[in-house]
Chains A and B, each alone.
Chain A
Amino acid sequence: MAFKEGVIQGLIRKGEYYDSVSLMIISKKIREEKGVFDSSVVMCTEENKKNLRDANLFLEEFENAEESDLLVAIRASSASLANELLKKLEKEIKILNKGGDDSDYDSGADPSRAGRRSENCDYKNFEGAYQKGLKEEANLALISVNGKYAGDVALKALNKNMHVMLFSDNVSLETEIELKQLAQQKNLLVMGPDCGTAIIAGVPLAFANEVSRGSIGVLGASGTGMQEVTTLISNFGEGISHAIGTGGRDVKKEVGGISFLMALKMLKEDVQTKVILLVSKPPHKEVMDKIIKEIDKTKSVVAVFLGASDVCNSCDNNNNNIIFRDNLYEGALTAYKIARGEGANIDDEMKKLNEESDKIAKLESEKIKKGAKYLRGLYSGGTFASEAQLILDFNGDSNNDGDNDEELYSNVPTAKSKRLSDVKVSTKNTIIDLGEDEFTLGKPHPMIDYTLRNERFLKEINDPEVAVIMLDYVLGHGSHKDPLSDTISILQKAFDILAKEKRYISILTTVTGTAKDPQNSEKVKEALRREGVIVVDSNFQMSLIAKKVITYGKKHIKG
């Protein structure tokens, strides 16, 4: 078993701190070396120590390391190889240690400017950036430090009367409430913690896409969901005024939707915003009521509260100012049509989409061989994994022909699905959110690094019971810079395996992004199509096709 294989070697670098992304990039480089089973470069937090133990990468000497220490571990086929790579790794770390490039300080050709620092460059601390960098005019802090320190940094920013976007997760609920209450007093907005996506006045913050500017304001407690609707709207031909994130916990009872409500007011008052699109998991009832109360006839509001159709039907919406939609695609389309002045009715478009999906599904289902009957969704976007389960709407209790083929499992189960007993092993129909902690601890998020998903993908490919695999490719800032480099060869490998075994699996993909994104969504889609996979524009359509392929597949095999 690969998990136990090899020799573990490691080292401690005292008192060295690096951001986790830099470390992950380094450890990825090492993992790609021949003869390496696993490697990890992490700060010595208790959490990371546990992960190292779980990953069989723990060394006794790590026990007494301090939190400010950097732990490096490699499990390789031989001690000499591991040691050689450790040296290589130290070199990489040293490069990091030198910090940024020459833009850190203006030390360029003009000596009279040497040592003078200006905006758009690096500072060692917040004060310097605030005073020297932005001449005390900074109005937004984008914070992505370790959650343990994020609260303090956010507090500093609020005390300087700056709005805050907290990308960091692992910030305590207490801290979140404290920060948001202070912000509320000062009439400042706190986006997050765990806010992955925002676009303010056309500026993408963290994981966000290059979308057209326009009249639709998005407000959401869901990162991927916001990326999906903003890119869909942009690709439809409309634009985004702002996309404001709040972090998932904001709409829960404890926080009471402080940021959600404030952002809603801001969008209502914003002259550029004509239509407001809300994207979130279902808010707590009390929060929902407050949201509904805040909405009046001044601006059209479309809401996608994933998995909350019951809540929405029961909530007090007697003035009918909100149009509820069940999924991100319908939500985006509705907002687009309203912004265009074409009304909120999307029946024709959805009918067309359904027919088109039907066609694709039929063709795909005909290629599937007997015994292949399950679908597997391998998601990097958490919201997608939830949305897919809702769209699939498989009901394990009602089976048509005696077996429980329609059972749906997930590591992030929604109402009708069951929890996977082992997240590493798929059961029947399985939807996986690979961005969950159990996969990402000490490893890069699957939106940045596909290694983890590629491994899982090949595992699913080798499973003769699999009929459909769903993959999301989330592009934009922050995401994998060159998604094709880590995708094409793995797809080719998959098709080789299938050809050899005379099987077929319908591989469905959705690309979230625009042609203006650094990765260029058109280029990515085209390359994926060339490899023979189905490429659609939304997770909604991908899930729809997946469901149909499974259904038609059974008929086809029986027939």
Chain B
Amino acid sequence: MEKNILKGNLKIINIGLKSFTEAFEGKDKGKGSVASWAHVDFRPPLISDASLFKIIDHRREQIEAANKEAMRRIFSGRPFLVSVSRAIDVIPGMQPNSIFHAGPPVDWENMCGPMKGAIIGALLYEKIARNAEEAEILAAKKGSIKFSPCHEHKAVGPMAGIISPSMPVFVVKNEEFNTFAYATMNEGLGKVLRYGAYDEGVIAKLRWMEDILYPVMKRTVEAMAGKIDLKSIISQALHMGDEVHNRNRAATSLLYRQLAPLICKVSNADDAFAVLNFINGNDHFFLNLSMAAAKSMLDVANGIKYSSIVTVMARNGTEFGIKVAGLDSNLWFTGKAPIPDALFFPGYSKEDANPDIGDSAITETLGVGGFAMASAPSIVQFVGGNVSDALKFTLSMYEITSSENSAFQIPYLNFRGAPAGIDIIKVIEKNILPVINTGVAHKLAGIGQVGAGVLNAPTEPFKKAFLKFVETIK
């Protein structure tokens, strides 16, 4: 390093105003005046109290060790689809009057339109209420329906994420740790319960899923004797243009290939035709499985003292909540859910959009979804239209993650592992928020999906979690 800058050979780091680098252009040639430079796109930390960072620094070694352990557990997870069962039979803590929902806890009064709609639909489906009015009265009556977040019952649900007792659910087992995670089966697009629709067609489809899809899937999956390796499907799908959140076409196809022969074997021709047709017609059939797989892999990192890794990001349409491995796993850190700035279907705009909703951000928590955007060039219109935009999203997430998942590789980055393990300390220090791919629900119950896009997690939950974390490690 040339220390006497007057001798030339300047190597400049420019921090702040990018325009200052314009003067350096062309200065790297010519006699004597050599300047190379790197620009830092400076963002102030989300919390600038230096004393808090001193506490972090003091515990740096323990934190690093804890995070290493958290990532070891997450990466060693082996999620398999092992069964399909009725929710009440398998999900811990589910009771006949339970309804589980996406995101952090929320009571009926504070629920958003689509979540209320989905709950009405679930009460109709369960025949607990005869009509929508009755359902609403019942739901509003304190204590009559037990609302609880899916995440507090080892379950996850996309959008409203409603799970009611009779619903069939995928049972995913993390073979490495003998733990389980649960998710409903995906209903497809259009008017569906998870977007808050509850008309007769929606309920009829749920019944078909219970009557036809469920038994066929149960027999099929059990006949495969636990050989449906979800991690393997996700790894392959990432090489095939999926990020397994907003694009599941490849993963669904891979699953379909595995299921089809046995579906034909275990069911009559009509049912087999109907079930295969249903899966074939729903590109997002795998979504609920990628979510359950992610849930099963992340859950095992909870309870590692000093770990600053995020194990849950989830939204209920009102609030956005996170959980952190090193903090009490009962604690949610929440903030207002942002309204997605998305691409809207014709006829809809941001005015119609509900604040962000769903447990599907569990995919980003694992390091796929928006974090693996660079794997999914066919959906780059969500992030600005260019492949380089998608690349930037993924690259920027390496800044706030603890590690790279060598099982989930990104071809366009020379098969570099996807960024994994969101570290709240890095989020705060660098002021870079996780990116989340998302579908957008209409804010009114019953209308359904109005768009899709990308958004950043809000700052508040991370700030709250950071403050609690510092307090805990003092």
B43 — which chain A residues lie within 8 A by C-beta? Answer: 17, 124
A134 — which chain B residues lie within 8 A by C-beta? Answer: 11, 13, 36-38
B13 — which chain A residues lie within 8 A by C-beta? Answer: 126, 129-130, 133-134, 138, 140-142, 157, 162
Complex Cα spacing A138 to B24, Å: 14
Given A19-B18, A145-B42, check contact A201 B1 (CB 8 Å). no
| B388/A142 in contact, CB under 8 A | no
**Which chain B residue lies CB-closest to A518?**
B22
| A201/B32 in contact, CB under 8 A | yes
B141 touches A (CB below 8 Å): no
Given A114-B414, A120-B36, A125-B399, check contact A200 B387 (CB 8 Å). no
A478 touches B (CB below 8 Å): yes
| B12/A140 in contact, CB under 8 A | yes
| B430/A124 in contact, CB under 8 A | yes
Return the contact of B40 from the options A124, A136, A140 (Cβ within 8 A): A124
Select the stretch in A104-112, A322-330, A350-358, A456-464 that faces chain B: A104-112
A15 touches B (CB below 8 Å): yes
Q: Which of A68-106 contact B (CB under 8 A)?
A: 68, 94, 98-100, 102, 104-105
A202 touches B (CB below 8 Å): yes
| A123/B5 in contact, CB under 8 A | no
Complex Cα spacing A148 to B46, Å: 13
Most buried by A among B11, B14, B38, B430: B38
| A105/B395 in contact, CB under 8 A | yes
On chain B, the number of residues with a Cβ less than 8 Å from chain A's Cβ atoms is 65
| A148/B48 in contact, CB under 8 A | yes
**Which chain A residue lies CB-closest to B335?**
A14
B40 — which chain A residues lie within 8 A by C-beta? Answer: 122-126, 128-129
Given A107-B387, A137-B1, check contact A114 B44 (CB 8 Å). no
Complex Cα spacing A550 to B12, Å: 48
B3 touches A (CB below 8 Å): yes
Q: Which of B1-51 contact A (CB under 8 A)?
A: 1-20, 22-24, 27-28, 30, 32-44, 46, 48, 50
Please give the distance in Å from B6's CB to the nearest CB on chain A: 5
A163 — which chain B residues lie within 8 A by C-beta? Answer: 5
A367 — which chain B residues lie within 8 A by C-beta? Answer: none
Select the stretch in A204-212, A247-255, A486-494, A525-533 that faces chain B: A204-212
Please give the distance in Å from B417's CB to the nearest CB on chain A: 12
Complex Cα spacing A140 to B36, Å: 10
| A115/B12 in contact, CB under 8 A | no
B458 touches A (CB below 8 Å): yes
| A144/B20 in contact, CB under 8 A | yes
Most buried by A among B6, B42, B43, B388: B6
**Which chain B residue lies CB-closest to A102?**
B388
| B392/A104 in contact, CB under 8 A | yes
Return the contact of B23 from the options A14, A132, A203, A270 (Cβ within 8 A): A203
- The contact string, 1 if C-beta is below 8 Å from chain A, for chain B 319-353, is 00000000000000000001001000000000000
A205 — which chain B residues lie within 8 A by C-beta? Answer: 12, 20, 23
Please give the distance in Å from A143's CB to the nearest CB on chain B: 5
| A168/B16 in contact, CB under 8 A | yes
A125 — which chain B residues lie within 8 A by C-beta? Answer: 40, 399, 430
Q: Which of B74-114 contact A (CB under 8 A)?
A: none
Complex Cα spacing A133 to B18, Å: 15
Binding site for A on B (CB under 8 A): 1-20, 22-24, 27-28, 30, 32-44, 46, 48, 50, 338, 341, 384, 386-389, 391-392, 395-396, 399, 412-414, 416, 430-433, 456, 458-459
A102-B386, A105-B391, A124-B432 known, 4 other contacts, Cβ within 8 Å: A105-B392, A107-B388, A142-B12, A149-B48
Give 4 nearest A-B pairs by CB, closest first: A133-B38, A202-B33, A144-B16, A129-B38
18 contacts between A and B (CB under 8 A): A17-B431, A19-B17, A68-B46, A100-B41, A107-B392, A115-B395, A115-B412, A121-B38, A125-B399, A130-B13, A133-B13, A145-B42, A149-B44, A200-B6, A205-B23, A272-B6, A477-B20, A478-B19
